[in-house]
A and B are shown apart, each in its own frame.
Chain A
């Protein structure tokens, strides 16, 4: 198999046994994100134009910074994304993350995360490529069982 070159548009989706409102809360409230998103704490009012900040545990470091582009609870949220994990990523152009939440039949919600506009952010593209699967798996487990993944 050839090695993966980081994709400039990345699409991740998962079906979750929860309502769209519950999924929205899980992606916007810090008490949830701390339990599945690498322990990170979100800070944003989630109004269009508001800042989006993702803090490392204990607010030791700012991991991600962005701006809310679209906010339509509980259907759609888009924000810019600038990784501040390291100097190389921080020097890159901001990319964009869009969360699409769609109710399905049978009390199930489909959550799709599109991370795109990564053309000028190759380090970020490579660093988030494995992370989103882990995050969405943890989010599903948390919403369906009330417990974070054991390895989290």
Chain B
């Protein structure tokens, strides 16, 4: 699968985001960026017992899922945490379920009040 077709897949599918999050090293990288982003690969690999190539691979998966955005600054490639895909999952899924709970409670309240 090419890089571009994976990007397109992420538009129609949250799979890439869930897959990217389903790994402790990648969640650790996101936590590091949450503390402070705009970091280079060298900074990000410093506390990981992993080859540079391994860290690059994880960062690439995060970038393909849209969770990490990169910017070039001079000769450096800086990594930024992009929280928008997580927000999209929140807005499309979590809000939907909380709404159902709220409406269930609202229905219960009106039923109780009717019978009272």
CB pair B82 A13 closer than 8 Å: yes
A114 to B35, CA, bound (A): 18
Which range contains the number of A residues in contact with the other chain? 20 to 34
Say yes or no for A105: interface residue by CB 8 A criterion: yes
Report the minimum CB–CB distance from A104 to chain B (whole Å).
7
CB pair B8 A1 closer than 8 Å: no
Point out the residues of chain A lying under 8 angstroms from B86, CB to CB. 133
A2 to B71, CA, bound (A): 24
5 contacts between A and B (CB under 8 A): A4-B34, A9-B71, A10-B80, A136-B87, A137-B87
Report the minimum CB–CB distance from A131 to chain B (whole Å).
10
Say yes or no for A87: interface residue by CB 8 A criterion: no
Point out the residues of chain A lying under 8 angstroms from B31, CB to CB. 1
CB pair A12 B71 closer than 8 Å: no
Q: Give B contacts to A, CB under 8 Å.
A: 4, 7-8, 10-11, 31, 34-38, 66, 69, 71, 80, 82-88, 90-91, 95, 99
* Residue from A1, A17, A149 within 8 A of B91 (CB atoms): A149
A12 to B68, CA, bound (A): 9
CB pair B82 A105 closer than 8 Å: no
- Contact of A14 with B84 at beta-carbon distance under 8 Å, contacts A106-B8, A149-B91, A150-B95 already known: yes
A1 to B28, CA, bound (A): 10
CB pair B87 A15 closer than 8 Å: no
Point out the residues of chain B lying under 8 angstroms from A15, CB to CB. 7, 10-11, 66
Point out the residues of chain B lying under 8 angstroms from A132, CB to CB. 84
Say yes or no for A91: interface residue by CB 8 A criterion: no
CB pair B11 A136 closer than 8 Å: no
CB pair A133 B87 closer than 8 Å: yes
A40 to B35, CA, bound (A): 30
Say yes or no for A63: interface residue by CB 8 A criterion: no
CB pair A140 B7 closer than 8 Å: no
**Centre residue among A15, A106, A112, A141 by max chain B CB count within 10 A:** A15
Point out the residues of chain B lying under 8 angstroms from A38, CB to CB. none
Closest A-chain residue to B34, C-beta based?
A4
CB pair B99 A150 closer than 8 Å: yes
A114 to B86, CA, bound (A): 18
Point out the residues of chain A lying under 8 angstroms from B7, CB to CB. 15, 104
Point out the residues of chain B lying under 8 angstroms from A104, CB to CB. 4, 7-8
